[in-house]
Structure 1
Amino acid sequence: MNRTLLIIGFVWPEPKSSAAGSRMMQLIHFFKEEGYQITFASSSTRTDRSFQLEKLDVVPKTIELNKPSFDEFIKTLQPDVVLFDRFMTEEQFGWRVAENCPDAIRILDTEDLHGLRKARELAFRSGNSWNSSFLLNEVAKREIASIYRSDLSLIISESEMELLQTYFKVDQNLLFYLPFMLEAITEVQIKALPKFNQREHFITIGNFLHEPNYQGVLFLKKKIWPIINAALPEAQLHIYGAYSSQKVSQLHNEKQGFLIKGFANDALDVMKQARICLAPLPFGAGLKGKIVDALQAGTPCIMNSIAAEGIFGPLEPNGCVVDNPEQFAKKAIQLYSDASVWEEKHRFGFEILNERFNKVKFYDLFSTKLEDICQNLGQNREQNFTGQMLQHHQLQSTKYLSKWIEEKNRPS
């Protein structure tokens, strides 16, 4: 008999709008290949850009926060596995899952470590140098509590695995490294990509609901693009991203070649036309979708260390990793103008894709891990006393807060 999976989504997946949406679709494809019957539930509103899950025989279900209707829904469904999309959904629904389906495996997909992203944002906004005290923020405490309450947490970056184990002392048995799971790129596909002299201009791309993307564009506008523009006056910077607001649109400047293009229906297509991708992110966490898009499109990148984090491992980057803005601009100008170096960096990207993000490898590893958890669920939970303790307290506090909200909202 097929196993059943319930995914509780923070939002409905939009793979054309964000790396998080692409990540969720990769997980859905994995579980489909494993033979799971999948229901995707979310309390958010579906948009025109939301993927039509019905095309994959995934059942969509709208759920409500702080309503007993969820209890009835999950009692009826009785999933074998529940996947929480980000720690916020585990906070909202995890206690209800534990109470109504105690034998269901609870998996948390962190997407990226929100506590790490918050720590870097706090350091950025304070203007102070980074130190580990920024990691002791409220978001990190909530997120790590969620990790302990879950049977397994999926971690997208090796550096985040190391941080959780060395700094926060999380048991490695609760964590599983699962980066983007991508199709290998073939030599035929590589040869079909536009060459150096068939490309022009610079590109950056990212969902503008994600604050680091806006701050990165602002940094380009103020610190980097003026230097590039002075050296390469014919070149343009094309800036793509879903949900661009007025504060983004007002950065558009035709004379400077700083062009806000808005939503790209096909991110890979626009990436293939560009010669260089620019990615200076002042804060953030996880794997950056724009860098992965660039790898697939054969577009070399100039990026800072936060943008590059978790992508390359021991391999050579598909461009340059530079944190100083003047050096960043200088490297971008050099790479834009040198066909032989560009070709070398272009080729590096395909090796990175096939060595580090090949879905075949990670499908096998994740499938084995799931089976192990299934066979040893009781023993694993016995060994995770911290998780039991947090589950007990969260079950009580969140449960009674939710019931108070239920009563408060009940018609008089």
Structure 2
Amino acid sequence: MIKSKSILYICPENPFPPAGGDKIRIVNLLRLLSEHFEIDLLAYEPVARDEERQELNIPNNCRLHTVPSMDYKSWSLRLRSLILRRNNSLLSHADLHLSHRLKQLSERRQYDYVVVTHSFLGYLLPLLRALQPNSLLVTDAHNFETSLSRQFALTQTSMLRKTYFLLASHWNRKLEKEICKRTDLLLTTSEPDAEAFQSLSPSDKHKIKVIPNFVDMRSYESDRAENVTPRSPNIIFPGTMSYFPNVNGALYFGRKIYPILKAVIPDLTWHIVGRGIHPEVQALAESDSSIVVTGFVPDMGTYMRNASVVIAPLLEGGGTRLKILEAWAYGIPVVSTEKGAEGIVCENDRDICLADEPQAFADAILKLIRDRTFAAQIVSNARNQLLNLYERESVKERLLSLFMEERKEKTS
């Protein structure tokens, strides 16, 4: 057995390249932790789109192991989930390939830490405890899935689909309560999510800690907006368009807010940037040539440095929005709904503009485009907030201290 400081890191999908908020969080954490630990990363490997095949840039101290993935949206899996009363997303990751690979890795090494990402993989905790009896088991929850699946259910127009996803919310609640019991340390991205887990299992409150999403400012400096020449008015909505809060947010903005703006600024453009193209979102672009849906892009900076405003018009969701933190890092002012900015420490008209009504949302965008002094002040304040709370170095000390303290307590 190898006896250096080590982590077994388990993901529901290979996070390289980091396209999408959940992958960005995983990769940021991996890069930070790989400076201090040897890491074996075990992940499901989907069939990647050709345009997403690029240099992976996996950290030197991180070894990638993959197993084939399953299609969690298949109706056969959904039927199976009804019979077994378990979330179909969970079942898509519950297969013998992963269990077999875990046993192989455990025969080679006993790890100091095992990190499980997403509640979907929480079913692995009993097996991991048996295979790694002395490891600190860490669950990085990303979202409070009980709430997220309920929010998704309430957006459904079909009674059958609504009933199914309400059942999924109930199953997620049982799983997430069990995770609280079985894990040694549970990480959330925001205080609201931490409070939700704590209310679910009050006796495990001491295990639940916040490690927010964060960015490494060194990766953004060359693309910051102040380094770019002035541009024509352009709105950016970054996000994966297979994630329902982003889809609903894009449709809400496109139908309720963008027409108000176009009536005032005819040459305004709107780019929806991120992997996955939802048919209803694509229809927005087909009806208006000033709307561009890009799909996956290898370099988000190409679009962000030409943005006047970044928007987060979200009506559902949880955690903290990396799209807002990245906009702050790029030096772009943000307009968001209250829900879109949930979990981020911010103040309206200081480091962000918040608006829940269509006209107010449009007015905030117009003010930022027209009043560049106001926009510059928002950007400056946002940068300070980012450096204080959400930059890599500000999170690094908290995370490493937490890992060391919990490990020491477990072995004492």
TM-score (ref. length: structure 2) = 0.81
Question: Does the 8 Å CA contact 1:5/1:82 hold for their aligned counterparts?
Answer: yes
Q: Displacement of 1:111 after TM fit?
A: 1.3
Q: Displacement of 1:125 after TM fit?
A: 4.2
The one-letter code matched in structure 1 to 2:127 is R
Deviations 1:127-147 (A, max 9, x none): 9xxxxx999733233223213
**Structure 2, unaligned runs of 5 or more:** 69-94, 159-165
The one-letter code matched in structure 1 to 2:393 is V
| 1:271 equivalent in alignment to 2:304 | yes
**Distance change (3 Å), C-alpha of 1:261 and 1:181:** closer
| 1:139 equivalent in alignment to 2:163 | no
Aligned counterpart, 2:141: 110
Aligned counterpart, 2:107: 75
Q: Which deviates the most, 330-339 or 299-308? A: 330-339
Write the distance in 2 (CA, Å) between the matches of 1:317 and 1:104: 44
Number of equivalences: 372
Moved runs in structure 1, 4+ residues, more than 6 A?
133-136, 185-192
Deviations 1:91-121 (A, max 9, x none): 1x22221112211111101112222222333
Aligned counterpart, 1:285: 318
| 1:100 equivalent in alignment to 2:113 | no
Aligned counterpart, 1:42: 43
Q: Displacement of 1:219 after TM fit?
A: 0.9
What secondary structure, in the 3-state scheme, does the structure 1 residue paired with 2:294 have? strand
What secondary structure, in the 3-state scheme, does the structure 2 residue paired with 1:244 have? coil
Write the distance in 2 (CA, Å) between the matches of 1:266 and 1:188: 14
Write the distance in 2 (CA, Å) between the matches of 1:213 and 1:185: 27
The one-letter code matched in structure 2 to 1:110 is A
Write the distance in 2 (CA, Å) between the matches of 1:76 and 1:250: 52
What percent of counterpart residues are identical? 19
Question: Does the 8 Å CA contact 2:35/2:61 hold for their aligned counterparts?
Answer: no
Aligned counterpart, 1:32: 34
Q: Displacement of 1:148 after TM fit?
A: 2.2
Q: In the alignment, which of 128, 150, 154 is matched to residue 187 of structure 2?
A: 154
Write the distance in 1 (CA, Å) between the matches of 2:144 and 2:217: 26
Q: Displacement of 1:327 after TM fit?
A: 1.5
Q: In the alignment, which of 203, 206, 214 is matched to residue 181 of structure 1?
A: 214
Deviations 1:272-331 (A, max 9, x none): 211011211121111112111211111111110111112225686533111112211222
Aligned counterpart, 1:362: 395
What secondary structure, in the 3-state scheme, does the structure 1 residue paired with 2:317 have? coil
**Distance change (3 Å), C-alpha of 1:38 and 1:186:** closer
Q: How does 1:11-410 map to 2 (within 5 A)?
A: 11-34=13-36, 36-45=37-46, 47=48, 49=52, 52=56, 54-63=58-67, 65-66=95-96, 69-70=100-101, 71-91=103-123, 93-125=124-156, 137-166=170-199, 169=202, 171-184=204-217, 193-194=226-227, 197-198=230-231, 200-253=233-286, 255=288, 257-313=290-346, 317-377=350-410
**Distance change (3 Å), C-alpha of 1:251 and 1:184:** closer
**Distance change (3 Å), C-alpha of 1:316 and 1:170:** farther
Q: Displacement of 1:88 after TM fit?
A: 1.3
Question: Does the 8 Å CA contact 2:246/2:314 hold for their aligned counterparts?
Answer: yes
Question: Does the 8 Å CA contact 1:315/1:352 hold for their aligned counterparts?
Answer: no
Aligned counterpart, 1:6: 8
**Distance change (3 Å), C-alpha of 1:332 and 1:98:** same
Q: Displacement of 1:343 after TM fit?
A: 1.4
**Distance change (3 Å), C-alpha of 1:134 and 1:300:** farther
Q: Displacement of 1:53 after TM fit?
A: 5.8
Write the distance in 2 (CA, Å) between the matches of 1:66 and 1:311: 39
Q: Displacement of 1:357 after TM fit?
A: 0.9
TM-score (ref. length: structure 1) = 0.81
Q: Which has the higher contact order (CA 8 A, sep 6+)?
A: 1
